[in-house]
Chain A
Amino acid sequence: MSKSERPNQLFRNLNAKVASIPMVLTALVIFVGGSAWTVLYSFTNSKLLPRLNFVGLDQYYRLWSTPRWLVSIENLLVYGVLSLVFSLVIGFILAALLDQKIRFEDTFRTIFLYPFALSFIVTGLVWQWLLNPEFGIQGVVRGLGWESFSFDPLYNSDIVIYGILIAALWQGTGLIMCLMLAGLRGIDEDIWKAARVDGIPTLKTYLFIIIPMMRPVFITALVIIAAGIVKVYDLVVAQTSGGPGIASEVPAKYVYDYMFFAQNLGQGFAASTMMLLSVVVVIVPWAYLEFGGKKRG
């Protein structure tokens, strides 16, 4: 892979080193330094300004006894599990349908993917309007004569997270479909022929032959979805602002509000450290699976 000779002195290859200064600074100062700084200050009682006044795990005790944080975590878990499952299932089914030598494949793909070009703010605001109980879907169905019809996720704290889920799936499944479609196209035609010769039904071929073969694609999709789940913020801000009450709060919003509104930096740092921890929990097993075990071609 290496295309250049390896210089020994500091000034050999100087231009390349100069060109890499932004990368080195970003890696060391922002990614490593910034994260370490936040973790360090999460053990202090910083309020309006960051101060190195250590209080041990106090911020974390307070965090885990704050109802709003617990609601945020619960929402993230429900939202996370459901969006993972639905994105993968819907994405795969759509890709499989598009993979049947159909006509207008490009048109369908363009339609399924266009929401992904839109920001979460736009997505959230459109679905806020569609789910408006007075004028939106509920209002229309009631107007048709079904007076008792009820579908107002954004105003019902028990199901508000599903309202956000609908919008998120609308926005994001197109991407997963694209990944899956690329994966399906990468599977050798001979596999299909062999399966047909053996008389294995299409559905069974998908479930027991194709999907296991697409393991790398599923893992990539999984990591992409998981990374997106932890970061979910804009969508909630646009669609519900965390309401009704605190029913649709998420951790990323908790961090932002405590850092920039509640002027309780310590809480914000502790909460963001918990977010970092959750990402580590997801990424480390993935990195181990991908790079630790057998090498892929």
Chain B
Amino acid sequence: MADLAVSLPAGTGSIGLEASGPRGPKPRHVFSRRNIFLYGTLIVVALYYLLPLYVMVVTSLKGMPEIRLGNIFSPPLEITFEPWVKAWSSACTGLNCDGLSRGFWNSVRITVPSVILSIAIASVNGYALANWRFKGADTFFVILIVGAFIPYQVMIYPIVIILREIGLYGSLSGLVIVHSIFGMPILTLLFRNYFTSMPEELFRAARVDGAGFWGIYFRIMLPMSLPIFVVAIILQVTGIWNDFLFGVVYTRPDTYPMTVQLNNIVNSVQGVKEYNVNMAATILTGLVPLVVYFVSGKLFVRGIAAGAVKG
């Protein structure tokens, strides 16, 4: 059992791109046939990956008449920001017509406490597992990791009952708890592996100096492991912001997170479809994780490689 816990990171944790330089034969001439093929393929694939983003932006800047006449790939003849304004402040879901801004603020109010709570729990827990092991701790840890593979659908209803019993069903706090629970396996794994890899002498020395459980955590472990905290924050912010299932199950229409509200706006059956407003709303929802992605760069890769286990 302990073996499983110890060797899991070998499969997942070894993924980092900073291992060493590129491999393979050296390029010879700039315009060799090989280079043309190589870069040609990569550029074509890159264009394919960029196409949806381009179409999203272009569509959101056009007026509806232009969308009906032109094709989706052509750049806007007349740039208008009206769809963005409408998506943010007056797009309708059902009877509510106050736009995506409500969903945005709900998502902020869900994401911020969830990220803080889940990381606080998991980092202390990972620290206890790495440095203060007690009998049976590894058993629970293995259950936790294996549990990460259970489909959420199996557990959503029991959680509905628990939340209803403690009076948090439908509230934002309930959803925060749910996110903390389901973030726990991967975050605990992340922190446990990181703390285990820290030099043991540090811990020993602090013990000799009389520092206790919390003293060592706050004065030594926390300041020395800021990079892993950043990775955890990236992982949780994107994961929780992008969540749909928990949002739709555990909140009410007025507390819906942004993804749920976006889906309701775009896929609503009433009214004329305003594709430009829909695309503006879609970009707005994708903006937070995209900014996190482009700002964080390589740390994001580390984060998702660790979080990929979550599936």
Contacts and interface: CB of A to CB of B under 8 A. Distances in A.
B38 interface: yes
Given A122-B286, A224-B311, A227-B149, A16 B134 contact: yes
Nearest to A13: B134
Given A30-B158, A50-B161, A121 B151 contact: no
A265 B161 CA distance: 13
5 contacts: A20-B137, A101-B27, A202-B24, A237-B263, A291-B7
A127 B279 CA distance: 11
A19 B124 contact: yes
Contact of B121 (A22, A143, A196, A220): A22
B151 A185 contact: no
Interface in A115-159: 115-122, 125-130, 132, 135-137, 139-140, 143
A20 B188 CA distance: 10
A203 B7 CA distance: 32
B155 to A, nearest CB: 4
A165 interface: no
Contacts of B22: 98-102, 105, 185
B253 interface: no
B125 A1 contact: no
B213 A139 contact: no
B220 interface: no
A178 interface: yes
Given A179-B15, A295-B3, A31 B144 contact: yes
Given A3-B130, A23-B188, A202 B4 contact: no
Interface in B259-296: 259, 262-263, 266-267, 275, 278-279, 282, 285-286, 289-290, 292-294
Interface of A: 1-4, 6-7, 12-13, 15-17, 19-20, 22-24, 26-35, 37-38, 50, 94, 97-102, 105, 108-122, 125-130, 132, 135-137, 139-140, 143, 170, 174-175, 178-179, 181-182, 184-187, 189, 192, 196, 202, 216, 219-220, 223-224, 227-228, 230-231, 233-234, 237-238, 241, 251-252, 255-256, 259-260, 265, 268-269, 271-273, 275-276, 279, 283, 287, 290-291, 295-297
Nearest to B285: A122
A272 B159 CA distance: 14
B230 interface: no
Nearest to A205: B24
B260 to A, nearest CB: 8
Interface in B139-155: 140-141, 143-144, 146-147, 149-155
B59 interface: yes
B19 A4 contact: no
Given A108-B46, A114-B290, A30 B304 contact: no
Provide the main secondary structure of the chain B interface. helix
B14 A182 contact: yes
B242 A112 contact: no
B14 A186 contact: yes
Interface string B96-135: 0000000000000000000000000100110111111111
A34 B159 contact: yes
Contacts of B45: 94, 112
- A-B residue pairs, 3 tightest by C-beta: A31-B147, A119-B242, A227-B311
B128 A19 contact: yes
A131 B300 CA distance: 30
B156 A259 contact: yes
A26 B184 contact: yes
A1 B267 contact: no
B59 A129 contact: yes
Given A6-B133, A182-B14, A102 B42 contact: yes
B25 A202 contact: yes
B259 A121 contact: yes
Q: Name which of B48, B159, B213 has the most chain A CB atoms within 10 A of its CB.
A: B213
Contacts of A272: 151, 153-154
